[in-house]
Amino acid sequence: MPSNESLDAAENWIKLSLILAFMGTWIYFVSFSIYSAGCHKFSRPADERLRICENHLRFLGFVLKDEGNSRNLRLQGIALSELGRTEEARQAFDNSILILAPNLKRPRYLLLKPSQKLAFPILDRPLWEMNDPRIPLAARELWKQVLNSRMEL
């Protein structure tokens, strides 16, 4: 039968392992979350915001829900349009819309009347966010073009 000292030592190692695993996970998520806040700050240059948004998706994308991924892609699209890369921005905006509203591609959605298409509630928040005055007009117009083209398919 093992002694109490060996059981206590094993118990201490298990506790230490769990604490270190928790601390490592916590530090990873908190540090990347703080770093990722730069993706939303329009006071930073567009290329820096784009890099931060891409890193955010790379390192924390697996935890984000659809709305988070969609918002990140919208922010990438804004940064890309500021850099003059309109085709990449258009693709980012399109992917952002398709993440939130995959039904826009389906034939059943295409049979709806135009008034019903505009009442797509999942797109209310992105539409509201894209009216932020800090977003350049070119990015807002590109977003509207992509949204309108997606609605007319």
CA distance 21 to 3: 28
Q: Supply the pTM of this predicted model.
A: 0.74
| Residue whose entry in the numeric block shows the structure tokens 């530090």 | 27
| pLDDT digits 0-9 by tens, 48-73 | 999 998 888 888 877 777 778 888 89
Tens-binned pLDDT, residue by residue, of the chain (153 aa): 556 677 788 888 999 999 999 999 999 888 888 888 888 888 889 999 999 988 888 888 777 777 788 888 999 999 999 999 999 999 999 888 888 776 665 544 455 555 555 555 666 677 778 878 888 888 888 988 888 787 665
